[in-house]
Amino acid sequence: MLNAITPLLPQIQSLGVIGYWILLLITLLESLPLIGVAVPGTVALVLAGFIAVSGPLDLGDLIWFGAIGAIIGDGIAYQFGIHPKTRTFFLAKLPENIVRRGESFIKNHGGKSVFLGRFIGPIRPFISFLAGMLGMSRRAFYVWDIASGFVWTAAFLILGALFGQAWQNALLWSSRMALSAVILGGAIVVLSLIHRWIYRHGGETGRLLKSLFASIIRAIKNDAEVKKFVQAHPALMKFLHTRLQMKTFTGLPLTLLIFAAIYVAGLYIGLIEDVLRSEPIVNADVRIGNILYFLRDKNLTNLFFHVTQIGEWKLLTLWAVLISIALFLRNKITYVVGLWTTLIGGEIFVFLSKSLLHRARPTGIAVYVEESFSFPSGHAAMSVLFYGFVAYLAWRLLSRRLTKLNSLIAALALMLVIGFSRLYLGVHFLSDVLGGYLIGTLWLIIGIVVTEWMNASRSLHIRR
């Protein structure tokens, strides 16, 4: 992808500020009913973040333009839903099932449906229109809409930037054989998922796809060269078969988690390299810090000072002890082990990273003085480690789907707001917070793997 984009960079560079306005227009159009279906706003954000790694566009400015475009588009769609003439026009054009799903979604989730709807592809272009049609108050709509606009834009731009950096690192560090192995492994996983989906769906289309897929599999199995290879490498075949099993955790679930952990670790290494080499993200660090310093407000400073306290390791350690006691009393020992593996491993990783890199804190903009080194942010890491594992506990131990979803949303919101509080208070750079998130994600994956592995082993032991 980067090789395809690189020849276009001079043309993109020549656009100057027009590139930002193009992104604003795309995110605006994607928020409109009907029109938004054909506009790939999410793809545009990821691509813009990818391109920003090479320097033609600034990531911080892209966040502002993309978010403002999305918010303006949502405001227009909301007005369309309020006014009778435009409401009647669009209702006549919209698919009935989309309207029903959107109405049900808004009734179930209230104001936060505007926030959630932006991240759900099929209803993204219609959620603001339906909010206006159903009479959601302007205040509730715009509070949730502005929050979702910035979170959505920043999330996908940063995702694109991280992917771009990871791709550059892969090109630098990996041989063609290694890249081929990664691509082959990904293809096998995708084919396995497709295979599972086909065999779970009936109907003529499902039967036709099953037949075609079965024919392809038989042809491959019966090929003389394939048979020869399988017979010559029984250990490899057994290993691959085990890795792709869906029925056990040690099969495909573990494989995917291992790939995720390796990918996150690669992103973290790439981020460290950028910080040490003063890459564009360091310039973004300074610019974003100065912007937030310029916009600082006394009341918001007090608010974010209290917000940042809920990411303090001492408080979260106390909560972890209380949760551990509750889990122990319910005989959920494996989750206790997973929780403390996550927290202790993540904190050790943060301490070692700070000690090795010795990055100084931002100067001249901090609300208060922190004594430790800056990279990575311990608060950001701890928010992912603790609140992420709590969301995992809710997902595994609670029965109501809505409660699980709300727990996940609350955890993500806390992670984001704690990370932003560190930026707003001027005690961390953006790359510090991103580094903390990556460490937290890495050790959260490891903690989940430990927990699920112990659960699987325990279940096997009970059956025996």
- Sequence-ordered list of residues with C-beta below 8 angstroms from that of 356, at least 6 positions apart, any chain: none
* Structure token digits, residue 208: 């036709």
Q: Residue 399 phi/psi, 5° resolution?
A: -100, -35
Q: Give the pLDDT of residue 324.
A: 92
* Structure token digits, residue 75: 């405001």
Nearest C-alpha neighbor of 39 from the set 48, 50, 26: 26
pLDDT tens-digit readout, 210-269: 566 566 666 666 767 767 766 666 676 666 666 566 666 666 777 778 888 888 888 888
End-to-end CA distance of the chain: 50
The answer to whether the bond into 376 is cis (omega within 30° of 0) is yes
Q: Give the pLDDT of residue 442.
A: 92
Q: Give the pLDDT of residue 388.
A: 93
Question: How far, in Å, CA of 388 to CA of 412, rounded?
Answer: 8
Q: Give the pLDDT of residue 37.
A: 65
Nearest C-alpha neighbor of 160 from the set 54, 310, 277, 309: 54
Q: Show the low-confidence residues of the chain (pLDDT under 50).
A: 1-9, 12-13, 170-181, 202
pLDDT tens-digit readout, 102-143: 777 777 777 777 787 777 766 677 778 888 888 888 888 888
Handedness of CA 301, 364, 278, 383 (dihedral sign): negative
Please give the model's pTM, rounded to 2 decimal places. 0.54
Q: Give the pLDDT of residue 320.
A: 92
Identity (one letter) of the amino acid at 401?
Answer: R
8 Å CB contact between 289 and 426 = yes
Q: Give the pLDDT of residue 361.
A: 87
- Sequence-ordered list of residues with C-beta below 8 angstroms from that of 1, at least 6 positions apart, any chain: 50, 167
Question: How far, in Å, CA of 143 to CA of 458, rounded?
Answer: 46
Measured CA distances, 117 to 93, 94, 112, 255, 371 (Å) = 20, 17, 8, 31, 41
* Structure token digits, residue 5: 């984009």
Q: Give the pLDDT of residue 345.
A: 92
pLDDT tens-digit readout, 170-188: 444 444 444 444 555 555 5
